[in-house]
Amino acid sequence: MKSITRQKSLEEIAEQLTNLDHVFIVGCGTCTTMTKTGGIDQVVEMKDRLLEIDKRVSGWTVIPIACD
């Protein structure tokens, strides 16, 4: 399996969420889990980082396969 994935910086994400109070985080159980850019560990870390900058995380999940 060939995969290209890059995790966005907190600064980039915070800028995209400027006018939003709530966010729901979705990760993937395949490529981003294998490359450690969006699996369960990274989703939980992002949740914690967003809470630190006063964003309300309404929930999170890691779905088995996002691309299908």
Residue 50 lies in a domain: yes
Residue 37 lies in a domain: yes
Give the model's pLDDT for residue 5: 84
Does the reported pTM lie above 0.95? no
pLDDT band, residue 2 (cuts 50/70/90): low
Residue 12 lies in a domain: no
pLDDT at residue 40 greater than cutoff 90: yes
| 23 backbone dihedrals φ, ψ, rounded to 5° | -145, 145
The 3-state secondary structure of 1-33 reads CCCCCCCCCHHHHHHHCCCCCEEEEEEECCHHH
Residue 13 lies in a domain: no
Residue 5 lies in a domain: no
Residue written as tokens 């309404």? 58
Residue 31 lies in a domain: yes
Residue 57 lies in a domain: yes
What's the domain count of the chain?
1
Average pLDDT over residues 29-47: 92
